[in-house]
Chain A
Amino acid sequence: MTAATRLTAGWRSSGRPAGLDEHLDRYGPLPDRARPGALARAVTEAGLTGRGGAGFPTGTKLQAVGARRGPAVVVANGMEGEPASEKDHALLSRAPHLVLDGAVLAAEDVRAEVVHVCLPRTKPGLADVVREAVADRQRARRDGVPVEVHELPHYYVSSEETSLVRWLNGGEARPLGGRERPFERGVRRRPTLVDNVETLAHLALIARFGPAWFRQAGRPEAPGTMLATVSGAVDRPGVYEIEVGTPVADVLAWSRVREPAGAVLIGGYFGTWHDLADVAAAGMSAPQLRRAGASPGAGVLIALPEGACGLSETARVLGYLAGQSAGQCGPCAFGLPAIADDFAQLAQARASGAVLERLDRRLGALPGRGACRHPDGAVRLAASALTAFAPDVHAHARHRPCFAARRFDARGETSSPAILPVPAAAPDEQWAEGGWS
């Protein structure tokens, strides 16, 4: 397979946001307004799944919102809480109109009266690009629904769909603990469709070119293309558009992976570590990766260079994830710092007591006990590190650090540059309401 250029057409030559005219030249005009529900059927036929990480069938979601009574709301999720992912930012800053097309078409299909675009506050230039695109469309009188652009506080958990709903309703950008889902009652208690911005861009292309065209790329059980963010031990890190199902080894080869790379992190910080040899032939799709115990998540691939300590990298990410807990649920607020601390001790080969037994018990006790999947994701990452780096784990547990970890200083920071990008552990803004942390 080769790299695809559906969403990324013209990115390399321009290096700036495509204006409305350029966008229409590239993709053609929007199709005539269809009956509500028609796009949901086309998207179902196309087999598009959510590109934000969860991989839920997009057509099913459209149908669920469209089937509710009364006017609906569409939320375009461009929060990209995953620190190792850059694809939503890249997409919005190069092809904002493609995303807006998708959001407006989805709104027409589910009879929504407003579109909210949610962007991280930490990337102010991004909101300017999108606001300008919205203003251009207003001048051209293109859209039948108003589009509002919002900048939200940027936490790992702010990307969660109920966090967006809560914030748009005047609360904090933390996951909701209630039992209602946004498609039933979301923004202003209206049925609410929350879709990742890349998902909406694909939807805009399905509306133009049809399900059969969409299925020309990818695999029958996982069709289309996807954006992937590749980093770590590669000479050309960045965002790549690939056909869904492209082997991991091909994606790494295109980004010029430095040999020999030992391990790879697939899916992001809720993802899993693997020995590269075990997953090199596996395709980047949910069904193919599932067999290897992995998930494409938001399309993140990180190659760990030889000579880096996977346990130290994982410990830093777990520390970050613990700090990013919304602090609402006890098991997450207390459990995540506990496993992050266990991992830090293990990484420094200074673990007290039976650290592996303790970790095993804690990792088993946390999944499924939060209002969102934050603890589940952190546990999945930690558990995969214990497997993928098993020889190091046992050496570290006996206070014999691997070569790379011997460069750890007393404060638990590596003296060599860290591989995985980890923002400061403490959120820059504190939650205003009560919480455990």
Chain B
Amino acid sequence: MSSRLDLDPVACAGHGLCADLVPELVELDEWGFPMLRADAVGPDLLPHARRAVSTCPTLALRLVRTRADRAPEHR
């Protein structure tokens, strides 16, 4: 069972703490709003990702499980 980061764009206020805590997974755009990498969060980054989730001042970030047994969604 693996996880990835998920953002609620309405709740996000662009504080940018997530990019400080897991720059491997979050990059800020030119206006300071996070752009997430779609990749699964590897075990080494999981504690950092959890901290980013719990530190977000607007509770906009969460970790969601990606089910390996489900076919990838078409874009």
Contacts and interface: CB of A to CB of B under 8 A. Distances in A.
A334 B33 contact: yes
A370 B11 CA distance: 11
A369 B35 contact: yes
Contact of B33 (A331, A338, A371): A331
Contact of B29 (A176, A178, A365, A370): A365
A365 B12 CA distance: 16
A330 B33 contact: yes
Nearest to B32: A330
Interface residues of A, number: 17
Given A338-B30, A371-B10, 16 more contacts: A176-B10, A177-B8, A177-B9, A177-B10, A178-B8, A328-B10, A329-B9, A329-B10, A329-B12, A330-B31, A330-B33, A331-B31, A332-B9, A362-B30, A365-B35, A371-B8
B23 to A, nearest CB: 17
B5 to A, nearest CB: 13
Interface in B23-37: 29-33, 35
Contacts of B35: 365, 369
B14 interface: yes
Contact of B9 (A338, A362, A365, A369): A369
Interface in A147-205: 176-179
In the A-B complex, the 9 residue pairs with the smallest Cβ-Cβ separation, listed nearest first, are: A177-B10, A330-B33, A329-B9, A334-B31, A328-B10, A371-B10, A330-B14, A371-B9, A365-B29
- Chain B at the A interface: SS class: loop
Nearest to A329: B9
A369 B11 CA distance: 12
A331 B34 CA distance: 9
A176 B35 CA distance: 20
Contacts of A179: 8
A26 B53 CA distance: 60
Interface in A332-364: 332, 334-335, 338, 362
Contact of A331 (B8, B11, B13, B29): B29
26 contacts: A177-B11, A178-B8, A179-B8, A328-B9, A329-B10, A329-B12, A330-B9, A330-B12, A330-B13, A330-B14, A330-B31, A330-B32, A330-B33, A331-B29, A331-B31, A331-B33, A332-B9, A334-B31, A365-B29, A365-B30, A369-B9, A369-B33, A370-B9, A371-B8, A371-B9, A371-B10
B14 to A, nearest CB: 5
Contacts of B11: 177
Interface of A: 176-179, 328-332, 334-335, 338, 362, 365, 369-371
A193 to B, nearest CB: 23
Contacts of A365: 29-30, 35
A370 B12 CA distance: 11
Nearest to B8: A177
Nearest to B31: A334
Interface in B1-49: 8-14, 29-33, 35
Q: For B9, B29, B35, which residue has the most chain A Cβ atoms within 10 angstroms? A: B9
Contacts of A370: 9
A328 B32 CA distance: 15
